[in-house]
Chain A
Amino acid sequence: MITSIPQRAFTKWCYRAYVATFFVYLGLPLVVVCVFAFNNSVFPSLPWEGFTLAWFFGNEAPFIGVFNERAIMRSIGTSAFVAAWVSGLAVLVGTCNAFLFVRYNFKGKAFLYMLMLLPLIIPGVILGISILVFFSSVANTLEDATGMWFDGLRPGLPLVILGQFSFITTFATLVISARLQKFDPSLEEAALNLGASKWGAIRQITLPFLLPAIVASAVVAMLMSFENFNTTLMLVGSDSPLTITMFDKLKQGSTPVLNAVSLLLMVVSAILGLLSLLFQKKR
């Protein structure tokens, strides 16, 4: 803190008030979403009609709670399925990338690194439509040539997984690389001297060291996959993940069920975030 610099009390308080206002701005939308999940009214708006848990457990129209709303429950399952695949693939490729960029020197490394960063600056919608266009034309060509159907290349869950994987891998790579850079290679050499095989040394020494970063990137990948909208919107088929289902409901006119889902989402991501923080601290 810069304490040596004189500041008028008035300026200081104005500054503090600004910072406080900013954090109110940051928190307010989320607070209202949570609060209205408990409002006993069919619209997420004032006036306040009293406290209810119907938007979670209710089973009578119009108070159908999240846990009894089939479309939402199914889409949560779809999202979890997609997130598991995306996170698994992204961590796998991300770990390989980390080893590649930290351990090896080869021609074109800088160029490849730049290519690897590109998904960060391509808008999600463009990633979605380019994958949609490319895979559809591949499917068309294959169908013309063989006369068979290639449904996996049409909009649907496989494409959603590939679309999300295409940019989440970059995040996984960055997180895992950062940790691998801190690794002391002499530990691995010691294991080799003690008679371990190259792969054995990596499995026994390096991978355990990387584990916190791997877990953290898996959690981030899962959260990003769950909340992704732009890329998913373009690639979605008949099974829609949670964000798409919520968007459709929101367009039709919102009910406080969405508040309840949002609240649950916030709780789950807060728990996941805290767990990954704790896990990192323990190591």
Chain B
Amino acid sequence: MRSDASRLGLYLLLAPILLWLTVLIILPHIGLFLVSISEKIGPREYETGFDNYAAFFTEPLYWRTFGRTAIMSILATVLTLLIGFPIAYYIAKLTKGRTKTTLFLMCMIPFWVSELVRTFGWMILLRETGVFSNLLQSLGLVSGPVEMLYNDAAIMVGLVYTSILFMVVPLVTTLDSLDDSLIEAGYDLGGTSTSILREIVIPHAMPGIVSGCIVVFMLSLGNYLTPILLGGKDSLWFTGMIYTQFITRFNWELGSAFGFLLLALSSLVVFAGLKLSGQSLSNTMGRS
């Protein structure tokens, strides 16, 4: 009787999650793949084939944008790690109590403000009539207005800004769990700051580094607003291309193929990252 009730409970609880995952995650992705391998041969007539993928590989604009997006995302990930690591180390190891909590919460700022507002803020700072341009002019460093928007550096600033939180938070968590005495022991044994960083701190922080890098890479790869608004019209980003195929050109078949390629790239990188570091998805992401 009791086990029957508990079995009924199990089925009742399984229903919503299965419904959610099947209808909103699994079936749509299968559908996306099916559309990506269908070719339009006439009005409302389709044939199965890999023409859309072939179109991607034969048109340099497509695969170059794909490559560019991937490389810029990797660069953004590396930069975020380099900028975020000292900050995380400072918060985790060199402060305590209220200062620590405050600094940690301050890192959350970009998360609490919508992506659009953040990007808008950078536009006000960087544009020709913007704050930086005016500041440089009033300091007498430049003679006329400078346009700092609409280039790759501006995109990079925006990407790092958007994702820094997802790097700092896991790093602080892992660094927090590193026992201070281990670092002291390193010094007692005559280690230098560099050797201690390399031999003790970084190996310990590895799970945090991996989970941070995965999330930052995925967010940069899938970003739409930052490249469009900060990079201007000539800056090509793969998500922008997907949008164009879907909404402007109404070529859903090619757009689906693009979407699937982007998904493949991001999953590949995530799983390579997990395998290389010996982490699992449940361990790194399940804790966030």
Contact = CB atoms under 8 A, between A and B. Distances in A.
Interface string A7-24: 000000001001100110
Contact of B117 (A30, A106, A127, A132): A30
Interface in A116-164: 116-127, 129-135, 137, 162-163
Contacts of B115: 227, 229, 243
Contacts of A100: 10, 13-14, 17
B121 A33 contact: yes
Nearest to A48: B134
Interface stretch (A60-68, A205-213, A261-269): A261-269
Given A23-B106, A134-B28, A229 B246 contact: no
A165 B214 CA distance: 23
B90 A15 contact: yes
A36 B117 CA distance: 13
Contact of A117 (B95, B130, B239, B282): B282
B93 interface: yes
Contacts of B77: none
B21 interface: yes
Contacts of A259: 120
B259 interface: yes
Interface of A: 1-2, 4-5, 15, 18-19, 22-23, 25-30, 32-33, 36, 43-47, 92-93, 96-97, 99-100, 104, 106, 110, 112-127, 129-135, 137, 162-163, 165-166, 169, 174, 198, 223, 226-227, 229-230, 233-234, 243, 246-247, 250, 254, 258-259, 262, 265-266, 269-270, 273
A124 B263 CA distance: 10
Given A43-B129, A166-B24, A229-B115, A254 B120 contact: yes
Contacts, number: 234
A133 B17 contact: no
Given A19-B90, A265-B114, A93 B17 contact: yes
Contacts of A227: 113-116
A254 B24 CA distance: 35
A269 B10 contact: no
A130 B256 CA distance: 8
B266 A121 contact: yes
Contacts of A114: 281-282
Contacts of B180: 2
A72 to B, nearest CB: 13
B263 A123 contact: yes
A47 to B, nearest CB: 7
Interface stretch (B47-55, B56-64, B219-227): B219-227
Contacts of B94: 1-2, 15
A229 B117 CA distance: 11
Indicate the member of B118, B124, B131 with the most A CB atoms within 10 Å.
B124
A30 B24 contact: no
Contacts of B225: 229-230, 247
Contact of B242 (A4, A112, A125, A166): A125
B124 A234 contact: no
Interface in B82-103: 83, 86-87, 90, 93-96, 103
Contacts of A247: 116, 225
A137 B31 contact: yes
A28 B125 contact: yes
Contact of B239 (A15, A18, A22, A230): A230
A275 to B, nearest CB: 13
A115 B25 contact: yes
B95 A223 contact: no
Nearest to A124: B222
Nearest to B214: A121
B166 to A, nearest CB: 11
Given A1-B95, A2-B184, A30-B113, A233 B32 contact: no
A266 B239 contact: no
A229 B116 contact: yes
Contacts of B247: 234
